[in-house]
Amino acid sequence: RQYYVTIIDAPGHRDFIKNMITGTSQADCAVLIVAAGTGEFEAGISKNGQTREHALLAFTLGVKQLIVGVNKMDSTEPPYSETRFEEIKKEVGSYIKKIGYNPAAVAFVPISGWNGDNMLEVSEKMSWFKGWAVDRKEGKADGKCLIEALDAILPPSRPTDKALRLPLQDVYKKG
């Protein structure tokens, strides 16, 4: 609403880590989608899980702004479980703090991409969710759905006077 946003889909599958690195290196903000389904979240946050790997890569590649979308809230037990959301928020918050993000500056939004809950407008199915709030040195922001979290992204300064940075995907030998 406030900005034009270009979404770069960085694939989550291990076979596409190269593509994920290329996409992430161009980003001003990362939207880390975490599956709330039983077993799915646990697999992603485990020692070699994709959730951990993607959060770490985003930070390492210089993406300082992060939004966490807790997806598949419709498939929690019971559906749209506040307890499950809070459990995931606590565990992901703890991990991202270890790698360098400030959890207070990260919007955690419970969503259902399948049903569109909390994506563009507030969902009645999660009336318990009072909204997200971020507190960063540039100021505070708050909202209730994912589009508002995207709208709260701060455009970073562009270091046009610095050296050029390019992501390399592959090296070819000629001959």
User: pLDDT tens digits, residue range 35-75?
Assistant: 999 999 999 999 989 899 889 999 998 899 999 999 999 99
Please, which pLDDT band fits residue 104 given cuts at 50, 70 and 90? very high
Mean pLDDT of the chain: 90
Taking 80 as the threshold, does the pLDDT of residue 23 lie above it?
A: no
Cα–Cα distance for residue pair 60/33, rounded to 1 Å: 18
- Taking a C-beta distance cutoff of 8 angstroms, is the pair 48, 94 a contact? no
| pTM score of the predicted model | 0.87
Please, which pLDDT band fits residue 12 given cuts at 50, 70 and 90? low
Percentage of residues in the chain having pLDDT higher than 70: 94
Cα–Cα distance for residue pair 124/115, rounded to 1 Å: 12
Is the peptide bond preceding residue 78 cis, with omega within 30 degrees of 0? Answer: yes
Taking 70 as the threshold, does the pLDDT of residue 10 lie above it?
A: no
CATH superfamily, with its number, for domain 17-151: P-loop containing nucleotide triphosphate hydrolases (3.40.50.300)
